[in-house]
Structure 1
Amino acid sequence: MVSAMLCDALTSPTKSLVALYSSLTANGQAIDFPTLAPKHFKNIFSSQKHFSQIPPLDVRHPPSAYSPRSLVRFRAMVQDTSLSQEIYLSSFGDGKPGGWGLEDEALVDDEDVGDIDHAKLRERTVIWAVSIPGEAEWVSEFIEDSEEPGGTQALAAPLEAASRAHKFPDPSCPHIGAFIKLYDASESTPKSTEIYTFVGVLTSESRPELAPSENAPVYPTLHVLFSIPRPPTITPFPYPFSAGSPEASPIGDVPLQADVDHGVLELRNELISWIADEALGGDKEAAEWVVLTCVGKVRSRAPQLNPLSLTISNFPSSPTPPDAKSSSVPTVAAILSHILPITAHLPLSLSLLNTSSFVPEYHEEDLHSGRLQLPAGTTVLVEETGMTEGKVVEKGLRNITALQQCIASQSISYVFPYSTFSFSTDLTFIVLSEGKKSAFVDTDVNIRLRDLSAEPAEFYKPADRINVPPPAKLEAFRRLVGGAKNGQVTISESVSKFIQDDFVKERRDMKGTTSEDLALRMSAARVMALSMHEKEVTQCIWERVKVLDQHRKAAAAAF
C-alpha cells in the first residue's frame, strides 16, 4: 500500500491529493484536509530512501526542467513574509478539492464552482523563498534530504535568469526564487531568513500586480504539501566527536592536559596549518583566530553573548586591478567554503557601498533584499582591500552603519516607507584590511598578519591552485568545526576562580590591561574549548587563550 501511495505521490501529486480528499470526505474529515494532507505526505516520505526520490528544485534543476504540477523539494531561505494572505475555495461540486492550484486545472470547471459557499473559503499564507545564499556545494552530501533522485541529471544548459533577482542578497549569483503557498494553518508561519525544505506541487502563475503589462511575467509557485525546518547550521554534526588517538603536538608553548582527545587536537592542528599555509601566508596564529571565529554563534540574547568578530590587518591587496573584468577572490574565501556550510563574500568597494543596499528595503510594495539578509549561521568575509579613494555618499554611510550594527548587536534593520524594524540575526564576521585595522567597522579581535615572504598573489590563488585535502580529511574538518558550532561548554567554579585570580594578577603587573580584555578572553576561551570538542573550559585552555591574546596585542603594538 505504501509503495502504491509513494508511486502516486511521486508521479502525480494531483491524483494523490484528490484520492486523499475523497477518502477523507467518505470519513467525514474533509474539513480537516489542509491539516491532514501534510501529515499524510510527510508519512509517505518519512524514510530517507523515499524522501531522496523527490526531485530537487535548485540552480541545476530549475523550474523549467519540470513539467507542470510536478512534485519537487526546495531547500530555501525565507526572504519575504510581508505578502498578503490569499483566499481560496476549499472544495467544489461533486466532492472535488480546492487549493494546491487545483482550481486552475481541468479537474475543476466553471460549472463546478457555481454559487460560492462562504463556509468553504479558507486562507493560505504566501511567502517568497530563495536558494540559500552562500550555501557550499558540499552541503547536499551531508544533510538528510540530499541524495540525488534516481534518473534526475544535472542540467547541461546555461543557467536561466532567476525571476525577481532583487529579492536575493547578491542578485548577480545564480539562484532560484519562488512563491511558496502554505495551507496548514496549524503550523507556525516561517520567519524571514529561516531555512526550510519545502515539498510541494510546482506550478507557475502570472502576477500582473507585480509587473503591470500586457505580457505579465510568470513566476514559479510551490504549493506546499509539507515542510521541514532546518537548523541554522544546516549540517547537524555531533558534539563532541572522537577523531582517533594519534599523538598530537602541543599547541604553542602551553602543554595540554593528559585526558584530552589528542586525535581531535591533531585534526584541529591540521586544519589550522591548512588555512595558514594556503590562505594566510603561513601565519598559524591568524589561522587559529579564524577557526575560533568560525566556531562562534550567538549564545545568549539576555545578556547578549555575541560571536567573536575578527579583523585580519596587514592583509595584501589583490594583484588584480579593482576595475578588471575578472577580479581576484581571497583564497581564504574558498577555504571557508570548503569547511563551512554557508559563507558570504562582501567585497567592499565605493560602487557597492554607494549603489547597493546592505539591508532589506521596501520599494513599490515589494521587499528588496539586502546583502546582509542572510540565514543564521552564515560566516561573512568582508574584504576591504579593494577600496579606492573616493566619496562615500549617504547610502554608503547607511550601509556602513548597518554593517557595524550587525556586527555589534547581531541585528539587521528592515526599512519600510514609514518605519524601520530591527530583527535579530546570527552572523560571524571576518574582515580583511590592508591597514592597521578596519577602516569602516570595529571588531572584537584585530590580528596583524605577519610580514611573511609570500607574494600577494599567494593570498588570491585560483581554485585550481589551492591544495585541497582528500575528501575524508575535508569531511573531518567539517565535522570538527560544525560540531563545535553546535556544542555547549561550561566553566567550573574552580576554573572561574583561577581565571579571576590570574587576571587580577596580570592587571596588577601589566598596565593597560582592562575589563574588556577579560571579556574577550572569556569569549575566546569558550570557543577554544568548543574547537577542541571539550565540555569544559580548563586552566590549560585559558592559558592558551592568554598567550594568543598577548601575542596579538604585541604584534599590533609593533605595527
Structure 2
Amino acid sequence: MFDLDTVIQTAFRECSDLPSGLTDLDTYRRHVLAQLQQPDLIPPLSPRATPLSVVSFNCLLQDTGYPLEVFLPGGVTQSTEVDLDPTLLKERWIGWGVQIPGQQPWSSAKSALEHLSGPEVTEAHLMPKTARSKFPLPTSRDSYVGALLKIYDGLPSHKPGSVEEYVGIVCQSPLPTAMSSDGDEDIDMVPCLHVLSTRSPNVSAPPSPSDDTTRTELIRSLGDCFQPRDGVAGELLLLFFLSYPVSRPSTASPIGTLALNLLRSKSSSGIEMVTRLLMPIVVELPLTLPLLHSETLYPRCLDSANLEAGLLQLAPGTVLVLDEDGMGEGGQLGDKAVKNLQALAQCISEQTLRYEYPYMDNLKMECAIRPLILSQGRSLLPVDICLPVTPSDAVPDIDEPTLQRYRSFLAGHATPSRAAQVEIPDAISAYIQEGYVADRRTNAERGEASADESLKRRMRLARLLALSHEPPILSRDVWERAIALDTQVLARLRQRNEARGSVKPGALSTVAT
C-alpha cells in the first residue's frame, strides 16, 4: 500500500514530458489533492489528455496478465543509478484498460471521444500498432481510448472482461511486450494512468418508474418495430433487455438469461436502432464467412506477454446483436471459423468465454452477454426462444421525456442485484410442479415431445416477467402469462413451419427452418 503523496511523486518523476511551467512538485501535489476533492469535475481520459493531468477512466479491463512492474517510489532519492539500493525498489500491478466497447454516447455524461471524430482524429491520436489488437471491435482499433493502468494499492483481483472506473494521473509508458527491453529505441509508447483511486461502477438499481403504465407503454413502443404492431415481440424484447445471469448451476444453463432469435421476413435496421436508443451498451456483429475466417472472437495470447482482444471480450450486460443474414447459403468452414462459432455458441449457452494462452488449456471465464439473433432462417446458434416477426421499415417515434422514462425503467429493472430478488413462493413452486406432471402425462398419451424443455423455457420467461413487475414475485398470474406467451410463440412457429411444409399439421416445433 502506498499513500497518495507517493503515487503523485512517482508519477511526477516518471513523466518524461512535463508541461511547460510545471516544475514545482509541492504546487503540483496541492493541485492534484484539490482536484480529488471535486470528483464530479474530473474529466474523462481522452487522446488529448495532457501529461500529469488528473482524469477518470471508466474502462473494460482487457489484459490483466502482465507481470508486476518494479519501480522506485517517489520521494526516494539516490545519488547515481550505479549506487541504487535494490531494497528501495517496490512492485506495482499493471494492466491494460480500454473504453467500453459499444457504449452508447447518451449513456455517459463524460464521453472521451464525443468531440474526437472524423477529420479531427489525427495521427497523434492513433494507437500504436502493438496496441491495436487489444481492442475488441475491428472498426475502432486505430483510435480507441486505452491506457496502461499502474495500481499501487496491492494486487487487485480484477479479471479480464470486468469493468472498473479509475482516477489517476496521465503519463506515457512503454507497452510491455515479449521482446521489449530498456534499450529498445523503437518501443511503442502508450498512455498510462498512475491510479489514485478506484471506483467500481454502481450496479445497484437507480430510482426508476416501476408502474405498470410505463411497462405497458414500453412494450407498445417495442411492438411498433414490427408491422403490424406486435405485442408478443414487444414483450419478449422487454424480457430480453432485462435478462442477466443471476446464478450458474454447475450442471445446467445459467439462470436468468434469454437468448432471443427473431426470425425476420426481411432485413431491417429498426430493431437495432431502437435497441441502441434504449440500452447503454450495444455491439452489432454481422456474421459472415469472411469475418469468421479472418477475425478471432475469443481473446488469445500468442507470445506469453500480450493478450489480443477477441470480438466477444465485452462488458457485462452488453446487448450483442448478431445478424446472420450475411451467412447466405453457408459454405465451407475452416478450422478458425469452426472455433469461432464454438466460442460464440459457448458464450450464448454457458455465458462463458474462452481465453487461449500458450501455457493453459480450456480456460473459460464468466461473461454476461445478452444475445439477440436476427435471421431469416434457422439460426446456427443455440437459442431459447424463436419468434417469427415482420419488421417495420419505420422506427418508432419516441419523444425525449418518454425515452428517458423508458431508459430509467430498464436501468432500474435490468441490474444483477434486482435479478437476484426474484421470489418464487413455495405454493407457486408446488403449482408449477403439478402442472408439469400433468403435462408429462398428457404428452405421453399423445406421443408428443417431453415437457421438460417446455418447463425450462417457461421458467425463463416467468422469472423475467416477474422481474418486469413490482414487486418481483413469480405469482400464479405471472406463471399463467408465461404459459400464454410461450403458447403464442409455439403457435407462430408452427404456422411458419407448416407454411414451409417442414412439419406435419398439428405438430409443435421449437426450431425454425
TM-score (norm 2): 0.80
Is the aligned partner of 1:198 residue 2:166? yes
User: Match of 2:56, as an amino acid?
Assistant: R
Distance in 1, matches of 2:224 and 2:29, equals 64
Corresponding residue for residue 381 of structure 1? 321
Letter in 1 for 2:354: S
Q: Is the 8 A contact 2:35 2:42 kept in 1?
A: no
Report if the CA contact (8 A) 1:180-1:222 is conserved: yes
State whether structure 2 residue 435 is matched by structure 1 residue 496: no
Point out the more displaced range, 494-503 or 482-491. 494-503
> Cα distance 1:196–1:22, how it changes in 2: closer, same or farther (>3 A)?
closer
1:226 Cα deviation from its structure 2 partner: 1.2
The residue number in structure 2 matching 1:37 is none
The CA distance in 1 between the partners of 2:88 and 2:116, in whole Å, is: 42
CA distance in 2, matches of 1:201, 1:361: 30
1:86 corresponds to 2:30: no
Give the equivalent residue in structure 2 for 1:518: 455
Residue matched to 1:395: 336
Residue equivalent to 2:502: none
Equivalent runs, 1:163-312 vs 2, <5 Å: 163=128, 164-173=131-140, 174-185=143-154, 188-207=156-175, 209=177, 214-231=185-202, 236-238=204-206, 241-243=208-210, 264-278=211-225, 282-302=229-249, 304-312=254-262
The match for 1:558 is 495
What is the CA-CA distance between 1:69 and the residue it aligns to? 1.4
> Matches of residues 106-185 of structure 1 in structure 2 within 5 Å?
111=79, 115-141=83-109, 146=110, 154-155=115-116, 158-159=120-121, 160-163=125-128, 164-173=131-140, 174-185=143-154
Q: Please list every run of 5 or more consecutive structure 1 residues that lacks an aligned counterpart in the other structure.
A: 24-39, 98-107, 244-263, 319-329
Query: What is the number of equivalent residue pairs in this alignment?
Result: 454
Aligned-partner Cα distance in 1 for 2:352–2:487: 31
CA deviation string 1:28-83 (max 9, x = no partner): xxxxxxxxxxxx96x9736xxx11211211xxx32xx2322111111110000111
Give 1:281 deviation, angstroms. Answer: 5.5
Distance in 2 between residues matched to 1:386 and 1:314, nearest whole Å: 13
Residue 558 of structure 1 aligns to a residue whose secondary structure is helix
1:549, 1:528 → 2: CA distance?
12
**Alignment-derived partner of residue 471 in structure 2:** 534
Report the residue type matching 2:86 in the other structure: H
Distance 1:412 1:16, change over 3 A: farther
Q: In 2 relative to 1, CA 352–17 (structure 1 residues): closer, same or farther, beyond 3 Å? A: farther
Specify which of 399, 402, 406 is matched with residue 347 of structure 2.
406
Secondary structure, in 3 states, of the residue corresponding to 1:167?
Answer: coil
Deviation at 1:210, TM superposition (A): 6.7
Match of 1:429 in 2: 371
Q: Is the 8 A contact 2:35 2:54 kept in 1?
A: no
1:442 aligns to what? 382
Is residue 315–residue 432 contact of structure 1 (8 Å, CA) maintained in 2? no
User: TM-score when scaled to structure 1?
Assistant: 0.74
After superposition, what is the alpha-carbon deviation per residue over 1:340-374, rounded to whole angstroms, capped at 9, x for unaligned? 12122111001111110110011233211101111
Residues of 1 paired with 2:221 and 2:287: CA distance? 26
Distance 1:340 1:22 in 2: 40
Q: Does 1:333 align with 2:272?
A: yes
Q: Residue 223 of structure 1: SS of its match in structure 2?
A: strand
Q: 1:153 to 1:418 in 2, by over 3 A?
A: closer
Over residues 81-104 of structure 1, what are the superposed CA-to-partner deviations in whole Å (9 max), with x where a residue is unaligned?
11121101124xxxx35xxxxxxx
Q: 1:528 to 1:280 in 2, by over 3 A?
A: farther
Question: For residue 74 of structure 1, what is the aligned residue in structure 2?
Answer: 57
- Does the C-alpha gap of structure 1 residues 206 and 508 become closer, same or farther in structure 2, counting only changes over 3 Å? closer
CA offsets, 1:378-407, max 9 Å, x none?
121111012234322111111111111111
CA contact (8 A) 1:211 1:217 kept: no
CA distance in 2, matches of 1:147, 1:361: 29
Tell me the residue number matched to 1:35. none
8 Å contact from structure 2 (residues 148, 173) kept in 1: no
Cα distance in 1, alignment partners of residues 478 and 170 from structure 2: 52
Could you say which residue in structure 2 is the equivalent of 1:56? 44
* CA deviations over 1:404-456 (Å, ceiling 9, x no partner): 11111111111112433111111121111111x31x1121111122xx5x66x
| CA distance in 2: counterparts of 1:543 and 1:294, whole angstroms | 21
- Gaps in structure 2 of 5+ consecutive residues: 14-21, 497-513
Q: Find 1:549's aligned residue among 460, 483, 486.
A: 486
